[in-house]
Structure 1
Amino acid sequence: MKLHSLIGLLGLGYLANAVDLRPRNYDSHDYYVLHLDPTANPIQVAGRLGLTHDGQLGELEDHHIFSSHKQEEDIVHTALKERKRRKRSLGDVDILDNVKYAQKQKLKPRMEKRGLMRPAPEGYEVGKREDAAAPVDAAIVKQKAVQKALGIEDPIFKDQWHLYNPVQLGHDVNVTDVWMQNITGTGSIVAIVDDGLDMYSNDLKANYYAEGSYDF
């Protein structure tokens, strides 16, 4: 599995497997997450790259954390790039061929909570918030017509402004006009990343593809 950003996963992995990982010090060390082939020995990979193997990344199989003394360059990226060049010219075998993906970790700045807002200065009048714009009558008529024509029985369809926005016309994904052309995506396979997907809901269970899904 190729992950485009492992920084968040690194934090989760640390919480899930904190006992097995060394304390991290980004002032003195660099940290890397590598996705390895299941047959690869992470200790051998560490030796080849001049890194220390700090352990597996939480419960993610074949994902490991490595560290080295702090350097300006991304030494793993440099080594993998050189390996690809040599492989094309020599065709030999190297333990680095088992590295599927690698990313140097960056320390995210700690977010500070804002304190309570100070009261307005004495004598200063706080303006009232303007009421939200009212829906456009013609847009409401069209929304109801679309819902009736397509047999949409979702009780909160009128509230899903991203599908059809009767207040700010054009500020939606324009999907209802596509549906009205009988373009519904039937037969298409899509991928969804969600932190609370209910595959047993009436809306999804008929189209849920278990073999192509994974729960992280």
Structure 2
Amino acid sequence: MRRQMLLAAAVLAALTAVPATSYAQGRGRDPEAEQRKQQEEAAKKRRQREEWGDVQAPLPQLRNAGPCPFVKSLYDAARYIEFKDNREASANVGFSGEIQGISAGCAYKDEQPIEVTMEVLFEMGKGPQAEGRSKTYRYWIAVTDRNRTVLAKETFEIPVTFPEGEDRVYVTEKIGSITIPRAAITTSGSNFEVLVGFEVTPQMAAFNREGKRFRLNVGQANTTNP
């Protein structure tokens, strides 16, 4: 499913992010002067493009001014496992889910904001204690700065119906655009992280944090403890 993530809350917060050290900055140079010079050069290039009608290539083809934000799943929320009566045993598993993979890319140059696109592969499971064949999972995407302060967070839903006789479903979520404003032209993607995770209960988070796992065939009733 294709999503559009609106990060209006990140606009003001990201504008206050600390700029990354200028690549051109050296010993004895004035950082503010270097920054003003780069901004003036960027503005000059922009005016030239507008005057000459130089149409730029689509964002995915742009050469980045620096590294992309680090994109990853949050370990404590990378898996979702329901337990009947809160008893941690494979025979008590209801619905489950796991983030199996994330791919991402970004584009930015001059004074432009960072545009991030990403795909997340989810594996959903139906255990022996699951009621019915349908489940609506909830997951979130958050943008943080390098100090792990949350700049913006948005939650999405994934309605899943398991085919008759099947206990596994794979879902790919495509996030079409995450826009991260930059405080200055010297602010690179390395100042930010994009995190993904399920909405989990404190018990689920503790289960994940402790590294406990079940085999993927938890849809088959058994009484083996993790």
Looking at secondary structure, tell me which structure has more helix per residue.
1
- TM-score in same-fold range (> 0.5): no
What TM bracket, shorter-length normalisation? under 0.3
Give the alignment's TM-score, normalised by structure 1. Answer: 0.19
Larger C-alpha radius of gyration, 1 or 2? 1
Which structure carries more relative contact order (alpha carbon 8 Å, separation 6+)? 2
The two structures have a TM-score, normalised by structure 2, of 0.19
